[in-house]
Amino acid sequence: MNKRRLMVICLMLVVVWLSGCATTQTVQKPYRISPQGTVIWDDEFEFAPPPLGWKLLIPEEGGDINIGFMRMDRGPFPSSTTFAYDEEPFGFSTQFEGREIEFFKRFLFNAILQFQILERKKVQVIGGEGLAVTVEGKDPVKKEKVRAKVIFGKRGERVIGFYITQWRPLDGTYDLSAFEDFDKFFNSFKFLKKSFYETL
Amino acid sequence: MEGHQRNLYLYERFNARVLGVSRDDVTTLKYWAKGLGLTFPLLSNVTGFLGVYFHTQPDGKPIFGRRTVIIDKNGIIRYVRDGSPEFKDILLFLKKLNQEGGKP
């Protein structure tokens, strides 16, 4: 009996010890909050965080984006919005016009969408020239649609991108307040140091 | 491949040239390169001897495994990595090689 009780205690100790190990393990966050309330990301980027309701997307190693946020919107599937900063947007041209064509060949290519350009204009991106393209894509088979805004800018010699995609059922209504949150994120964005490519 | 195309100006800066090698036939590669807008050479090696030479030919499979190989100007293999290319790693290696004078 004593032997059995001792074994239970030993097992409990092991469990406690293991759980103790789990709690002492720290996960290094890639960001910190500045005294001004902005996000400092990897000591490389600074931006204003979006309002509550946006969930941070932690990028995978070698993934498509560097920083992203997502929120589930009201309404039936696929009502959701995602926006991101991407250091390596699809394509390779260093001129915006060429990059726009290359980018949209692959943007949301898993969905078979018929894109229509809603607006295309020159903008200022982090103190330099840029190009903003707003599109709407429709999938009549799945009965889904997406409104997206893509902003191309430059970091050194390379083109970088900001984009937002908002999915809705085909008869759904877009929530343009999400695009305002994206614009605030984009307008607050700063580079705190030279990129890897600029240091080569 | 798009990543290599994006980095061509840097390869140029480091006196390096990039080539792709595939077991696909020439016609397939032409269409593929056109679709992606690739401007660097792609070599068609249908018989697969280059895969055997570079140890990227899996047994019984008609394709090459993904491998990045950097060869210096003396024909010596200086860098080998499997899987998707680690572009930053490749660029740093080419920069170092160029500084050494061992132009790839």
Q: Is A2 domain-assigned?
A: no
Does B37 reach chain A within 8 Å, measured CB to CB?
yes
Q: How many domains does chain A have?
A: 1
Does A90 reach chain B within 8 Å, measured CB to CB?
yes
Q: Is A122 domain-assigned?
A: yes
What residue numbers bound the domain in which A105 lies?
Answer: 34-191
pLDDT tens for each residue of A30-76? 899 999 999 999 999 999 999 999 999 877 666 667 899 999 999 99
Q: Is A17 domain-assigned?
A: no
Q: Could you tell me the pTM of the whole model?
A: 0.83
Q: Is A185 domain-assigned?
A: yes
Chain A interface, mutation test: which of B6, B12, B38, most A Cβ atoms within 10 Å?
B6
Using CB atoms, which residue from B5, B88, B92 is nearest to A92? B5
Question: Tens place of pLDDT for every residue, chain A, 200 residues?
Answer: 455 554 444 444 444 444 444 444 556 788 999 999 999 999 999 999 999 999 998 776 666 678 999 999 999 999 999 999 999 999 999 999 999 999 998 888 777 788 899 999 999 999 999 999 999 999 999 999 999 999 999 999 999 999 999 999 999 999 999 999 999 999 999 999 999 999 99
Q: Is A112 domain-assigned?
A: yes
Does A97 reach chain B within 8 Å, measured CB to CB?
no
Chain A residues touching residue B3 (CB < 8 angstroms):
88
Cβ of A92 and B6 within 8 Å? yes
Q: What is the DSSP letter of B85?
A: -
Q: Is A81 domain-assigned?
A: yes
What whole-number distance in Å separates Cα of residue A184 and Cα of residue A179?
9
Cβ of B13 and A200 within 8 Å? yes
**CATH at residue A101:** 3.40.1000.10
Using CB atoms, which residue from A157, A158, A200 is nearest to B91? A200
Q: Which domains does chain B have, with CATH numbers?
A: 2-84 (3.40.30.10)
Residue A42 and residue A29 in contact, taking contact as beta carbons nearer than 8 Å: no
